[in-house]
Structures are given as structure tokens and as C-alpha cells.
Amino acid sequence: MVKSQWMRNLAHTLLVTTIMASATVAHAAEEKTLSAAEEGKKIAFTNTKGNCLACHMIAGGTSPGEIGPPLMAMQARFPDKQKLFDKIWGKPGVELMPESQMLPFGKNKVLTDEEINKVVEFLYTL
């Protein structure tokens, strides 16, 4: 009797472990790793981070602002990614329009350099 109870417990444990492992694998397969551009879009559209939509019209965004120019054709406007990065970061010597109200996101530590790079990758898809 003791041996059969032990076997049932073992079988039950193996079954539960298998089910849990299968569920974990299925969940991991469902989670898609976001590209840098997709992560950049999330940052740009999140009102607690980049919040680019507060000032700019962006394709796919809702309730855009009208303070800044529409963000489109970004590769043509900024063929050098570093210049776009520097503009968003707020590097000294980067020319903004004199009437620009753009926040220096890197200088003010609103976004990290990594986050700004992801936003640049997203903007390059526009």
C-alpha cells in the first residue's frame, strides 16, 4: 500500500510539473521580443516617458499636439541618426528652431541614452 501511494504521489507531481512547464513554454512563445523601433514607439507614445504625441503628430498616434512639427520622413530630414539623437538629447550646439519648446530629454534625464536610441529607431520608421 505504501509503495502504491508513493507511486500515485510521484505520478501526480510529474503531471503537475509537466502542465506547469508546458504553460510556461506556451506563454514564453506568445511573448514577442520587441524590436528597438517597437520599444521606441512605446516610449514615444507613453505619456510618462517620451510623450512625443503631446507636441507632435505621429502616424498611428491619437490626440496629437500641434506645438512641434509632424514627425514624418525622418530619415530624409535627419540622414545622420546621431544628429537626431543629439536633438532629442539636448546636446549643446544642436540647433533647434528659436521658438522651439522641445524639452532636452537626455540632459534633463527624462530618457536614458538607450531609450533615446530606441526612439530614434522608431522615428526612422516614419
pLDDT of residue 15: 60
Q: Are residues 5 and 60 in the same domain?
A: no
Stated pTM of the model: 0.70
29-33, 67-71, 87-91, 103-107: segment of lowest average pLDDT:
29-33
Domain count, the chain: 2
Task: Give the pLDDT confidence score for residue 103 in this predicted structure.
Answer: 84
The CATH number of whichever domain residue 100 belongs to comes to: 1.10.760.10
For the chain, what is the radius of gyration of the CA atoms? 24
pLDDT at 113 over 70: yes
Range of the domain at 18: 1-31
**99 and 113 together in one domain:** yes
Same domain flag for 74 and 108: yes
Same domain, 25 and 39: no
Contact at 8 Å (CB) between 117 and 85?
Answer: yes
d(CA 111, CA 25): 33
Q: What is the pLDDT of residues 32-83, one digit of tens each?
A: 788 999 999 999 999 888 889 898 999 988 888 888 889 999 999 899 999 8
Same domain, 77 and 97: yes
Are 15 and 44 members of one domain?
no
Residues 54 and 21 in one domain: no
